Amino acid sequence: MDDKFGSSEGDLARFEVLGRHEDRDLIQSFAHRLAGDGADAARLRTILDRETVKVPSQTGRILSALRRSPLVGSDLDLSRESEERPLPL
């Protein structure tokens, strides 16, 4: 079934975004226009894609930092003695 934006409902996804209160109407306007399949939506996608900054994914930063640690290869004994403690109920 087509909705008022010209797309089938299965093509649309709901998003939650965090932004400034004063940008709410602007963001909603973009979302409504992008939900369509027409030339206006395609033009807006092109403009937004060209104008937004592409940030490359930076996965593995924590692992990389751990590998740079001066403690790597120092064979530290990090084991701890554990003793049974009664749990207060």
Q: Higher-confidence residue: 61 or 42?
A: 42
Beta bridge partner(s), residue 2: 8
Q: Is the pLDDT of residue 43 over 90?
A: yes
Q: Which of 1-5, 29-33, 78-82 has the highest mean pLDDT?
A: 29-33
Cβ(12)–Cβ(41) below 8 Å: no
CA distance 45 to 85: 60
Q: How confident is the model at residue 53 (pLDDT cuts 50, 70, 90)?
A: confident
Tell which residue, 24, 51, 48, has the closest CA to residue 34: 48
Helix (H, G, I), strand (E, B) or coil at 2: strand
